[in-house]
Amino acid sequence: MKNITPNFTPASVNCDECPIKDRAVCAYCEKSEMALLEAMKSYKTYAAGDPIIFAGDRMVFVGSVVTGVARLSQTMEDGRKQMVGLLLPSDFVGRPGRSYSAFDVEATTDVTLCRFERKPFEKLLSDIPNLRERMLEMALDELDAAREWMLLLGRKTAREKIASLLTIIARRQNSTATVSKNDITFDLNLTREAMSEYLGLTLETVSRQINALKKDGVIRLEKKRQVHVKDFARLLAETGDDADGGFLA
Amino acid sequence: MKNITPNFTPASVNCDECPIKDRAVCAYCEKSEMALLEAMKSYKTYAAGDPIIFAGDRMVFVGSVVTGVARLSQTMEDGRKQMVGLLLPSDFVGRPGRSYSAFDVEATTDVTLCRFERKPFEKLLSDIPNLRERMLEMALDELDAAREWMLLLGRKTAREKIASLLTIIARRQNSTATVSKNDITFDLNLTREAMSEYLGLTLETVSRQINALKKDGVIRLEKKRQVHVKDFARLLAETGDDADGGFLA
DNA sequence: ATGTGACCTTGATCTATGTCAAATTTTTTG
DNA sequence: CAAAAAATTTGACATAGATCAAGGTCACAT
């Protein structure tokens, strides 16, 4: 259980033995089981926009995101689409114990996946206690994140939704690094459309609200996908969330 | 892994040794570990409307619902409230690995909880592989459910939301029993307000849409909280979900 | 450097759902 | 059983965000 970041963000690990060092990747490479996992591992890359798997497809691989951003989503018959997971480096892809994917997975930017065949991975899952423990922790963290997302979808205004998404992205990019609350800059690796799918809005509303936040001085935009926040607390105040972020006793 | 219902509904177990026999309860009573768990168990009841734990409270117990309906929810500073979990018998309450509750839990009807102290339960969790395996499976199932809920909150119309909620409740009550698609009757153990919190609507909209479905002959109401569905497929068609429920190859 | 397509912005209008308020029905309680 | 309380329905009206329709901007390929 060492090396795992404690909280709402998905568990991530710096794995010295990993081919790609110094990077949050493949949270499963416990030193002791390294050989096993190492043997099973394969990497695959996807171009921005490519599908990784469709809902209903047979799920041959599971794995985790090494670089880039992928998204989990659900589409209704008439085309309405809702993102239900945003997968950043170290996030797990796939569902051990199920043979078919329940959701679409697409590459949002170029993506590298560290993959394991599902069947042998499931075998390891029952053989290696550590692995199961980590999977449980990750699943529980994702569940908490999903529940916050539900509050966002069900009750927040468009402006609050945008502010919330910006803080989520800001936090995940500056995660271990800058915890200082001021002068944060980050890249939005998402189109307005992807944001609208995340937030349950239309892309027009996303555009309007981003520009409203800009006009009100809450954010500044260098390029259309690069955000400056001079006063993070100010942005936080726009999210509608509890000021203390749930850390009251 | 025996005795566990395979799919989207939370894992449930009929445990012969349980004080309360013949009932989906305490999914953790593996025969072999029975003595341990039995010793730790305590039951507590809550009256309809009672809080079970508040967000931010120290979490002393975890456990599972034995009878009744409880709900997990999140409240914003200004009172906006979103349900993020509906807990029926056999559902787990609490989050091993966290000392404080992230959500409010309230009894919707009278509720009996089968409780374990969190600390010793966490100890068992690392000692008993089976237990961890079940917890993982339950967490993953809940995650899938949460993601479908996100689609509902983000993209469905009020009418679709109501129809979806009705099918969810119908299915969970008639779960193992009537899989026949016709002439289903079930109790809505939820007030219009609770439904509105589930669906991200106001109670007025819930009332109007329920009566619209009634007027259109999709459902019939005996009492205000008892629903008759003569043609389940008809109701399903109103949910906006894929006709086959995700069971295409 | 110019054209082409993807992405983003902006405006005008529409509509589903929220809000506020008041009946009506059902349940609970003394 | 009567009265009070709680839950539900219904109506009139307001509005946030959707929809439809241009137009603008940017990156990249020819």
Q: Are residues A189 and A127 in the same domain?
A: no
pLDDT value, residue A11? 33
Of A80, A103, A240, the CB nearest to B155: A80
Q: Taking CB atoms and an 8 Å cutoff, what residues of chain A touch B241?
A: 76
Q: Are residues B77 and B175 in the same domain?
A: no
pLDDT value, residue A89? 86
Contact B143 A148 (CB under 8 A): no
Q: Are residues A126 and A162 in the same domain?
A: no
Task: Check if the beta carbon of residue A171 is closer than 8 Å to that of residue A163.
Answer: no
Contact A246 B56 (CB under 8 A): yes
pLDDT value, residue A35? 61
A242 within domain boundaries: no
Nearest chain A residue to B197 by CA: give it. A154
The structure tokens 């086959």 sit at B244
Using a CB–CB cutoff of 8 Å, tell me whether B200 touches chain A. yes
Q: Are residues B161 and B148 in the same domain?
A: no
Nucleotide nearest to B190 (CA to C1'): D7
Question: Of A118, A152, A186, which closes a domain?
Answer: A152
Burial of A4 (0-12, 13-18, 19+ CB in 10 A): middle
Number of domains in chain A: 2
Task: Identify residue A158 by its one-letter amino acid code.
Answer: A
Q: Are residues B189 and B147 in the same domain?
A: no
B69 within domain boundaries: yes
Q: What is the pLDDT of residues A117-176, one digit of tens each?
A: 999 889 888 888 878 888 999 999 999 999 999 999 999 999 999 999 999 999 887 754
Beta-carbon neighbour count of residue B19 at 10 Å? 14
Contact flag, residue A216 CB and nucleic strand C, below 7 A = no
Task: Check if the beta carbon of residue B41 is closer than 8 Å to that of residue B58.
Answer: no
Q: Are residues B147 and B165 in the same domain?
A: no
Nearest chain B residue to A86 by CA: give it. B147
pLDDT value, residue A124? 85
Instruction: Tell me the residues of chain A between 2 and 41 that have a Cβ less than 8 Å away from chain B.
Output: none
Contact A81 B240 (CB under 8 A): no
User: How far: B48 CA to D4 C1' (Å)?
Assistant: 20
Q: Are residues B88 and B165 in the same domain?
A: no
Q: Are residues B167 and B84 in the same domain?
A: no
Question: Of B152, B181, B211, which closes a domain?
Answer: B152
CATH of the domain at A220: 1.10.10.10
User: How far: A185 CA to C2 C1' (Å)?
Assistant: 34
User: How far: B147 CA to D4 C1' (Å)?
Assistant: 43
pLDDT value, residue B191? 96
Chain A closest CA to B105's CA: distance in Å? 13
Q: Are residues A124 and A147 in the same domain?
A: yes
Mean pLDDT of A97-116: 94
Residues in contact with B186: Cβ distance below 8 Å, sequence separation at least 6, in sequence order: B169, B170, B173, B174, B226, B227
Residue B188 structural domain: 156-237
C-alpha–C-alpha distance, residues B129 and A119, integer Å: 19
Encoding tokens for residue A178? 């800058």
CATH of the domain at A108: 2.60.120.10
The tens-digit pLDDT sequence of chain B (249 residues) is 333 222 222 333 334 334 333 333 455 555 555 566 777 788 999 999 999 999 999 999 999 998 899 999 999 999 999 999 999 888 999 999 999 999 999 999 999 999 999 999 898 888 888 788 889 999 999 999 999 999 999 999 999 999 999 999 998 877 544 455 678 999 998 999 999 999 999 999 999 999 999 999 999 998 888 999 999 999 999 999 976 554 443
Q: Are residues B37 and B110 in the same domain?
A: yes
Of A10, A28, A47, A50, the closest CA to residue A129 belongs to A28
A71 vs A127, more confident? A71
pLDDT value, residue A55? 96
What ipTM describes this predicted complex?
0.88
The sheet that has A104-107: what strands, in order across it?
A51-53, A104-107, A70-75, A81-87
C-alpha–C-alpha distance, residues A41 and A35, integer Å: 10
Contact flag, residue B9 CB and nucleic strand C, below 7 A = no
B10 within domain boundaries: no
B114 within domain boundaries: yes
Q: Taking CB atoms and an 8 Å cutoff, what residues of chain A touch B199?
A: 154
Contact A95 B140 (CB under 8 A): yes
Contact A150 B147 (CB under 8 A): no
Contact A132 B137 (CB under 8 A): no
User: How far: A234 CA to D16 C1' (Å)?
Assistant: 23
Whole-number average pLDDT of chain A: 83
Report, in ranges, which bases of strand C sit under 7 Å from a protein C-beta: 7-12, 16-21, 26-27
Encoding tokens for residue A58? 């047979």
Q: Are residues A170 and A146 in the same domain?
A: no
Using a CB–CB cutoff of 8 Å, tell me whether A153 touches chain B. yes
A15 within domain boundaries: no
User: How far: A148 CA to C20 C1' (Å)?
Assistant: 30
Q: Are residues B42 and B63 in the same domain?
A: yes
A187 within domain boundaries: yes
Contact A76 B240 (CB under 8 A): yes
Mode of pairing for the β-strands spanning A70-75 and A61-67: unpaired
Using a CB–CB cutoff of 8 Å, tell me whether B160 touches chain A. no
A29 vs B39, more confident? B39
A10 within domain boundaries: no
A245 within domain boundaries: no
Nearest chain B residue to A125 by CA: give it. B133
Question: Of A103, A120, A152, which closes a domain?
Answer: A152
